[in-house]
Structure 1
Amino acid sequence: MLIHCVTVKFKDAATPDQVAALDAALAALPGQIDLIRRTRHGRDLGERPTNADYALVSEFADAEAFYAYLEHPAHQALARDHLIPLAESVHSTQFLTEV
């Protein structure tokens, strides 16, 4: 299984409504892209001052499914409409794990 982790630092100008729209769009994404096995996402709890503002963890069967997800129109629209306008920075990592 391939695990995809994303962390986001929001721009100072990001509004609570924009963050809520991102959250809703991420919640809807698995219903639009059947390649996603599981996803979890949410705001940082503020436990450490160096943390990002938001995180997403998604699971895929393999690298082929992950790369197809990256090119999927619903993923591209979410990034364009919800993530890029809010993000000061975005970092991601992928790793393989046993099921």
Structure 2
Amino acid sequence: MKSTTFILRLSHPVSVDMLADLRAVIPADATHIFINALDEESHTTVECAQNDDNCSLAASAIALWRQLGHIHHLNWRHGWESLDVNEASQQELFKMLKTPGAIMHIS
């Protein structure tokens, strides 16, 4: 895994819908996937190598699943900063994921 990564934390319902798509579009050698069946809110953690392609693919998948109504809440964290980004555009999501150490909670 490269030193610069972004993290997607998926709730259980979002993981059921979205994880297969993320696995299909983001190269396997660029991700680490951890599943915690005991935690509904952070059921799946996807750690991705942070580059333009991976950030773009993840932002596209998030925007699509949100548009389809499967994502209801997005929260972006970076250090101590935490923002509700439910209304963020695909381009804004891309920029957030490009921030070193970005964590996106998706439910």
Scaled by the length of structure 1, the TM-score of the pair is 0.46
Answer with 1 or 2: which has the greater Rg.
1
